[in-house]
Structure 1
């Protein structure tokens, strides 16, 4: 079974609740409508989601597999993300946008070299 996107979130206002979306345009600097922050995109494994998690993409990859993707490319549907490092003070990883496009809940997620 392949990994998939379980949830998509944007957080337009710092400290305010986010919005869950069925799909989102991923631009060069992050998800459309998301507040710009340290990294364009934050990705978290579904098993690591906590009540205070503010990640953009929740995926069904395991925590170890997601952590091992640092320095690699994460293909999320038609979007490609360069995984740059671990997120600070929260689970998941940060990523830069290599190839923009639209991501949807249910899209396949794959780690590629």
Structure 2
């Protein structure tokens, strides 16, 4: 079985494998149902995150730097995907936000 998505990160794409992509697909599916283009973007980002976590050897190596960036991007894209997702009747799903403050 070949990879489902195209991975463009020149450094990480050689580390992406089918197992990591399948895990990412499952993890994104647990977050909800999204339009195909949003789902694909989320799976690619989640695959990069899994790859970085599994390949990171030092706390300050290139994988760690990419991990921080891809985690931030994943959260942003996830919020956008949720905002663009409609319920079964075609209405936008409500977005819940909670302010978190330090004590």
Indicate the TM-score class for this superposition, using the shorter chain for normalisation.
Answer: under 0.3
Higher helix proportion (structure 1 or 2): 2
From the CA coordinates, give the structure whose radius of gyration is larger: 2
Higher RCO (Cα < 8 Å, 6 or more apart) = 1
Q: TM-score, normalised by structure 1?
A: 0.22
Higher strand proportion (structure 1 or 2): 1
Q: TM-score, normalised by structure 2?
A: 0.24
